[in-house]
Amino acid sequence: MQEEVIFAGFGGQGVLFAGQLLAYAAMHEGKHVTWIPSYGPEMRGGTANCTVVVSDDPIGSPIVQHPGVAVVFNNPSMLKYEGLVKPGGLLVVNSSLVTATTDRDDITVLNIPATDTANELGESRLTNMILSGAMLAVRPMVSIDTLIETITAKLPQRKRHLLEINVKAIKKGVELAQQQLTPA
């Protein structure tokens, strides 16, 4: 098994953290994993993305041309990565902010109103957890339980009160993905 995931959005949307959380979770499951951020001269509020590779075997390249999974938080990221996802891959779209659409029929597309759902939960910064949950519902490269255990272990004491709502957001993401993929 090898999965390559690109998380992309604006700085401040928790894009890099979503990738790190996945990387920690993969490590806790004893898998090989790499996390690499895009870095360069960026302004505050500019674009941010990271690539996570999760594998049962030692990982060669930590960067990929054609990821199996792209999680896009905003329009510029949608425009950049929609065409790059490899055939058979998964595109997870934050449909609260992304207005661009894809006409690709060779990939699975999940439209998750993550920012709206996060606001309903009372914390817009949960967008990344909702999208992570949705992604793992379709591509269980780590289990949801591990992801929850990981965030429980990683959340510093001063943010402890946010644990419950983060777990809720992850589960909400799973639920939204399952609803979308189950024929009505």
Partner 1 sequence: MSAELMKGNVAIAEAAVRAGLEAYFGYPITPQTELLEHLSKRMVELERVFVQAESEVAAINMVYGAACAGARVMTSSSGPGISLMQEGLSYIAASEVPCVVVDMMRGGPGLGNIQPSQGDYFQVTRSAGHGDYHPIVLAPASVQEAIDLTFEAFDLADKYRHLVFVVGDGLIGQMMEPAVMPEMRPIRPRPDWAVSGKDGREKHIITSINLGAERNEAANLRIQDRIRVIRENEQRSLEWNIEDARILVVGFGTAGRVALSSVKMAREAGLPVGLFRPITLWPFPEKRLAEIVDGGIQAILVVEMNAGQMIDDVRLVVGHDVPVSHYGRLGGAVPLPDDVLHEIEKIAANIGLTATAMAG
Of 39, 101, 159, 179, the one binding partner 1 (CB under 8 A) is: 39
Check residue 7 for interaction with partner 1 (CB under 8 A).
no
**Is residue 80 a contact point for partner 1 (CB under 8 A)?**
no
Q: Does residue 62 belong to the site contacting partner 1 (CB under 8 A)? A: yes
Confirm if 20 and 35 have CB atoms less than 8 A apart: yes
Amino acid at 97: L
Residue 47 pairs with which residues in a beta bridge?
Answer: 10
Q: Is 34 in the site for partner 1 (CB under 8 A)?
A: yes
The single-letter DSSP state of residue 13 is S
Closest distance to partner 1 from the beta carbon of 80 (Å) = 16
Q: How far is the CB of 2 from partner 1 (least distance, A)?
A: 10
Applying CB under 8 A, does 64 fall inside the site for partner 1? Answer: yes
The answer to whether residue 24 forms part of the interface with partner 1 (CB under 8 A) is yes
Under rule CB under 8 A, residue 23 binds partner 1: yes
Residues written for the chain:
184
> Of residues 6, 14, 15, 35, which one binds partner 1 by CB under 8 A?
35
Amino acid at 49: N
Contact 147, 154 (CB under 8 A): no
CB of 30 to partner 1, least distance (A): 9
Scored b (16 or more CB within 10 A) or e, 29-61 reads bebebbbeeeeeeeeeeebbbbbbbbbeeeeee
Nearest distance in Å: CB 97, partner 1: 27
> In which element (H, E) is residue 153 found?
helix 144-154
Which CB, 64 or 109, lies closer to partner 1? 64
Tell me, what DSSP letter sits at residue 42?
-
Q: Residues interacting with partner 1, by CB under 8 A? A: 20, 23-24, 27, 32-37, 39-41, 60-66
